[in-house]
Amino acid sequence: MSTKPTTPMRFLIGLLALVLCACTPGNSSETPEPRSSMSDEEVVLERVESEEEAFRAVKALGGLEHAWAMDWLPDGRMLLTERPGRMLLVDDGETTELSNVPAVWAQNQGGLLDVRVAPDYEESGWIYFTHSKQEGNTGGTVLSRARLDGASLTDIEELYRQTPFLGPDYHFGSRIAFLDDGTLVVSMGERGQRRERTVDIPTPTTSVGTTVRLTMDGSVPEDNPFVGSDEGLDAVYAYGHRNQQGMAIHPETGAIWQHEHGPHGGDELNLVEAGNNYGWPAVSYGDTYSDQSPIGGTTAPGITDPVEYWDPSPALSGMAFYTGDKFPNWQGHLFMGALAHQKALRVELDGQTVSDQEELLRAELGRIRDVATGPDGYLYLLTDAEDGGLFRLEPVE
């Protein structure tokens, strides 16, 4: 006896499938259901003794697919990005995937990347984010902004795109930071490009391997270093970078601190200043992956040297000055995540030099992608994995 449905039955099954399809939220204009990814919080490390503080690590959120960045709205809700193209709203234990997020080039290191809430959010409502975008066979880093309407992004505006778009699907840089003067800076990775190995690097006629500075609406500030000249793009603030995946503004001085991936060795910590050339690829503390041959020298006239460098490379990602009240001995210290070394790095600065540094949590939580001080005063870490998590560091007696 045949088990295939009769023609009328097949018609009814098809009709039912169409009805179910129409009723199921599946496009960006519809409100998604809450996504279940937060279980009961779990203490994963009971006690960690560091040089300055003792703390425990609490897993606050699990089930994250290659999480990349986090920030908080003024009401305490968290925004969180996942590289495949999802932006999540975390509200008191409930995680909702936002709809209407722009399409991203989610390949290799590309996808949905940084997210930052505007300092004037309560007045403007703007959320800024970066992602990789592809057109034809090329792509690059894009800065956009949007407002939040319930569980959906609205008023989406593309503010700036890296020029030119290039073929490689890696090294997008892509951190956002807000300056005290009402402008913002964005790191634009070098996209795998290595120009001639000479100190005579051309001035930045592209925004590849640069830090760009913009007004909040994406226009170019009149006091950018190359405005009105033929030496570089108006939007460029500093150049000669490689792949900068961490950036933070010093809470007291307002200075821009940034780290970047070296090649095979030579991760750098830089103090980024207007018009400066940071050397890549004529100057590097790393070497080539293939044969470990040098890439230029380690310093040169006209090049701004790093404040610190690391060899071998920890693969630094994420950066924050600790400004909370839960860890008094960490006040003002710089924290950085590391992917390859799977650790957090605590760095003390004395003016423009590193006076002390300490490894934390090496190989205990995983690849640390982002670091942030939460509005509750705790330190938060995001791990980069197919099943990654959000971790909170809490003081213990």
Buried b or exposed e, range 245-272, using 16+ CB within 10 angstroms: bbbbbeeeeeebbbbbbbbbbbbbbbbb
In angstroms, the CA 48 to CA 325 distance is 19
Confirm whether 171 is a catalytic residue.
yes
Helices within the chain (DSSP H only): 7-23, 121-124
Q: Which helix (H) or strand (E) holds 356?
A: strand 353-360
Residue spans of alpha helices (H) in 24-78: none
Q: CA separation (Å) from 295 to 197, 219, 315, 367?
A: 7, 35, 18, 27
Q: What is the C-alpha separation between 307 and 349, in angstroms, rounded?
A: 10
Beta-carbon contacts of 333 under 8 Å, excluding residues fewer than 6 positions away, are 52, 321, 322, 346, 347, 348, 349
Separation between Cα atoms, residue 65 and residue 48, nearest integer Å: 27
Q: Distance between CA 241 and CA 208 in Å, rounded?
A: 8
Active-site hit among 66, 131, 171, 259: 171
Catalytic residues: 171
